[in-house]
Amino acid sequence: MNHLNIQNFLTKNVSTLDGVGNKTKKLLKKKKIEKIKDLLWNFPQGYTDRSNLVTLDRLEIGKISTIKVKVIKYNFPRIRNLPNRVICEDLKGKIDIVFFNSREGYIRKILPINSLVIISGKINFFKKKYQITNPAYIVPVEKEEYVNKIIPKYPLTEGLTEKVYRKLIEQVLKKVTNLEEWHDKNVLKKIGNVSWVESVNYIHEGNDNKINSKYFRRLAYDEILSNLLVLSQVRRRIKRLKKEKKIFYNIISNKIVENLNFYFTSDQKKVISEINNDLKSHYKMFRILQGDVGSGKTVVAFTAAANVIESDYQVVMMAPTEILAKQHYILAKKLFSSTNVNIGFLSGKTKSDEKKEILEKLLNGKINFLIGTHALFQKKTIFKNLGLSIIDEQHKFGVHQRIELANKGGKNCDILLMSATPIPRTLIMAVYGDMDVSRLIEKPINRKEVITLSKPEEKINEIILFIKKKIYEGNQIFWVCPLIEESKILDYSAAVNKYNFLSNNFKNKVGLIHGGLDKNERDKVLNNFLKKKIDILVSTTIIEVGIDFPNANVIVIENSNKFGLSQLHQLRGRIGRGSKQGTCILLFKKNLSENAKKRIKILKSSNDGFLIAEEDMKLRGFGDVLGYQQSGIKNFKLADPVHHEDLFSIANINIKNIENDENNFKKYDLLMKLFDKADVISEII
Ligand code: ADP
Ligand code: MG
């Protein structure tokens, strides 16, 4: 077959292969295998050694073995639940082949009396006899080579056997022979110089699925590049969207700056000017502002809002929770107080007549700046002339949602996303390649670094004393109990126990939030904490990302090794937001593992979210790091940012060369289809 035929073949439905009826099709679908190429991405999870044929006097119980035997006798009991048996022998002994749930006719067909067969399966011993139950392979002796070797073991689903799956893979590999290479020679050299065809053959037939073999790496690189290609295409198309330039002279934003009791960091200044350039350009801004917790993203966003409003457009800012939105609103009211900017607040909780009034004011342009929850977007909120959408803490958005965002808001609407999930540099393109990225790395200077301590749980009395002192000095305390994922009830009771314990020590001054509370109840407790009606907040769930509790200067994290490094860092970021000294106390049970000790050490020694994210990724694999799941990098089938970091770097450089010429993209047609990227692109305007 030529390249194009192979391309067509690979993207056909699996049901076009021999041996795929409705039943197998359904089973494959369970494994998310629908097109022929999907079969190839289901890599072997290991290999079974079925080589080394043994004679029946040398069987070992429990071992997967392959035997060459003659079929002697059937034993088909007519009693329900008793298995069918076939007695076989070689020159050295006898063995029973046992079948549960197989019909007599089928058994007679695959094991004809007196025939010589190859059987492979696990050896059992039952009532003083060797037996193999439901063998994985039974083939006539001529096909010995098919079984007597090392065979891939696939992650499959019940009802789908390895034998059937292997047959399918074989059909595919036979047809896929000579593809045109899509990578340039110099790139190919860097990633191991093996072709796609060689690589898939090797993985499925070559007894090696090691993540660092050149074959695996070639395919992982393909996946990484396909991902960058799609993001790059999205970006190119968004960049083509023209808009009216915004015109402003920083008149309003300067008034905000006058209201601040601090100076911008140089990173903040840099980012503000990047944003201003975008606003003033003819092209739609599609930018993500990445900054660690507490790096000061909010004021940057307000500055942008001020400039857009000065340019006679409206601005909307969305936060993931009511309380966070409210906090932004209150801060905006304060910072814009010396301007005549009209600010509105809208959330799911806004009363209906109030909402009606706000919507009216939006439509006639009387509100310049609307702040609220993400729900704003779903509702029919119509603006007179929206010029900027700001979305705070967006780590839950994938590419599809971002494309949707870019299209919403109308022709002249710029987009600014903000995220507090630090992502290692090599991965930024893979995650945000469709956007322009601004990063706030530097922290405000007046900030005292949070002191991080670790303590064994037995010393809780010392901690209580410490807390009493801190409360006496006017501070508030977070007390975090880890989520116990297996059980909501356990989770709840651990927190309740702690709540009761602390309530005994600190009367009426302790609040509790946990997963079982509804949003209203939770907001009520959080508000009590904000208003200092309570001193200690016990929580199971992670305390609302992004809320500023200026008086909370101590955080106690129980069973802290249950959390990932990045999570601990984010939790720690909840405190020390004012100018007072913050303390983070990591409680642990006795007997910390080496790994846990290492993690605590990293956390104690660094306050840099980006560095911590990188270390976290190395220690735990990237999949577990907070926020990555939602961010889309978890969607890689093969590529692994820890093992393939260099491949990401190579792809980052390569994509820039490819981008230079639209014609370059054509070469990668098949690659895009192999990784289901083609559909994403066709969705864009
Ligand atoms: P995040 O980036 O996590 O959203 P915020 O915008 O909430 O951070 O800022 C955290 C705190 O730091 C706020 O109280 C804010 O007023 C303050 N802040 C922001 N920028 C500076 C700065 N340059 N100097 C001092 N404090 C700052
Ligand atoms: Mg924030």
- 39 and 144 together in one domain: no
Indicate whether residue 570 lines ligand 1 (CB < 6 A).
no
Among 606, 621, 655, identify where a domain stops.
606
- 466 and 510 together in one domain: yes
Indicate whether residue 297 lines ligand 1 (CB < 6 A).
yes
Mutate which of 421, 577, 580, 610 for ligand 1? The one with the most ligand atoms within 8 Å of its CB, which is: 577
- Residue closest via CA to ligand 1's atom 24 equals 444
Of the candidates 330, 271, 302, the residue with the CA atom closest to the CA atom of residue 388: 302
Q: What angle do CA 451, 457, 459 make, to 5 degrees?
A: 75
Mutate which of 266, 293, 299, 575 for ligand 1? The one with the most ligand atoms within 8 Å of its CB, which is: 299
Looking from the CA of residue 263, the nearest atom of ligand 1 is: 23
- Residue closest via CA to ligand 1's atom 16 equals 296
Indicate whether residue 444 lines ligand 1 (CB < 6 A).
yes
State the CB neighbour count (10 A cutoff) for residue 109: 9
Contacts of 567 (CB under 8 A, 6+ apart): 542, 626
CA gap 287, 272 in Å, rounded: 12
From the CA of 392, which ligand is nearest? 2
- 358 and 468 together in one domain: no
Domain count, the chain: 5
586-628 per-position pLDDT tens digit: 988 877 778 778 888 888 888 888 888 888 777 766 554 545 5
Please give the pLDDT value at position 330. Answer: 94
Indicate whether residue 497 lines ligand 1 (CB < 6 A).
no
Domain housing 298: 251-440
Indicate whether residue 303 lines ligand 1 (CB < 6 A).
no
Q: Would you say residue 213 lies in a domain? A: yes
Mutate which of 256, 272, 298, 575 for ligand 1? The one with the most ligand atoms within 8 Å of its CB, which is: 298
Indicate whether residue 272 lines ligand 1 (CB < 6 A).
no
Among 391, 407, 440, identify where a domain stops.
440
Joined together, the tokens standing for residue 482 give: 């880890």
3-state secondary structure 129-175: EEEEECCCEEEEHHHHHHHCCEEEECCCCCCCCHHHHHHHHHHHHHH
Q: What angle do CA 108, 112, 116 make, to 5 degrees?
A: 145
- 354 and 421 together in one domain: yes
626-649 per-position pLDDT tens digit: 455 555 555 688 888 878 889 999
Please give the pLDDT value at position 597. Answer: 82
- 584 and 488 together in one domain: yes
Please give the pLDDT value at position 488. Answer: 57
Please give the pLDDT value at position 487. Answer: 57
Q: Would you say residue 612 lies in a domain? A: no
- 586 and 473 together in one domain: yes
Among positive and negative, which fits the CA dihedral 548, 549, 552, 554?
negative
Task: Calculate the alpha carbon distances from 474 to 54, 477, 524, 539, 577 in Å.
Answer: 78, 10, 21, 20, 15
- 119 and 227 together in one domain: no
**β 64-75/116-126 pair status:** antiparallel
Of the candidates 180, 164, 123, 114, the residue with the CA atom closest to the CA atom of residue 141: 114
Q: What is the dihedral of CA 637, 643, 646, 649, to 10 degrees?
A: 50
Please give the pLDDT value at position 653. Answer: 93
Q: CATH no. for residue 563?
A: 3.40.50.300
Please give the pLDDT value at position 626. Answer: 45
Indicate whether residue 609 lines ligand 1 (CB < 6 A).
no
CA of 297 to the centre of ligand 1 (A): 7
Which residues of the chain carry a pLDDT beneath 70? 377-379, 394-398, 401, 446-447, 483-493, 541-546, 578, 620-635, 681, 683-685
Among 578, 606, 634, identify where a domain stops.
606
- 374 and 300 together in one domain: yes
DSSP secondary-structure letter at 35? B
- Residue 297, φ and ψ in degrees, nearest 5: -75, -35
Q: Which residue(s) pair with 419 in the sheet?
A: 290
Indicate whether residue 420 lines ligand 1 (CB < 6 A).
yes
Using only C-alpha atoms, the chain has a radius of gyration, in whole angstroms, of: 31
From the CA of 300, which ligand is nearest? 1
Q: Would you say residue 623 lies in a domain? A: no
Joined together, the tokens standing for residue 652 give: 């980052």
Indicate whether residue 330 lines ligand 1 (CB < 6 A).
no
- Residue closest via CA to ligand 1's atom 17 equals 296
From the CA of 548, which ligand is nearest? 1
- 261 and 310 together in one domain: yes
Yes or no: say if 408 and 212 are a contact pair by the CB < 8 Å rule: no
Q: Would you say residue 597 lies in a domain? A: yes
Q: Using CB atoms within 10 Å of the CB of residue 502, give its burial: 0 to 12 exposed, 13 to 18 middle, 19+ buried.
A: buried
Q: Would you say residue 542 lies in a domain? A: yes
- 125 and 186 together in one domain: no
